[in-house]
Amino acid sequence: GAVVSQHPSWVICKSGTSVKIECRSLDFQATTMFWYRQFPKQSLMLMATSNEGSKATYEQGVEKDKFLINHASLTLSTLTVTSAHPEDSSFYICSARAEQGHNGYTFGSGTRLTVV
Partner 1 sequence: GQNIDQPTEMTATEGAIVQINCTYQTSGFNGLFWYQQHAGEAPTFLSYNVLDGLEEKGRFSSFLSRSKGYSYLLLKELQMKDSASYLCAVRVYNAGNMLTFGGGTRLMVKP
Stretch that binds partner 1, among 12-20, 35-43, 64-72, 80-88 (CB under 8 A): 35-43
Q: How far is the CB of 14 from partner 1 (least distance, A)?
A: 23
Residue 7 found at the interface with partner 1 (CB under 8 A): no
Nearer to partner 1, 80 or 110 (CB): 110
Stretch that binds partner 1, among 22-30, 62-70, 76-84, 92-100 (CB under 8 A): 92-100
Q: What is the DSSP letter of 87?
A: G
| 67-73 β-sheet, strand order | 4-7, 19-25, 76-81, 67-73
CA nearest to 73, candidates 107, 116, 22: 22
Q: How far is the CB of 111 from partner 1 (least distance, A)?
A: 10
Q: Are 66 and 5 in contact (CB under 8 A)?
A: no
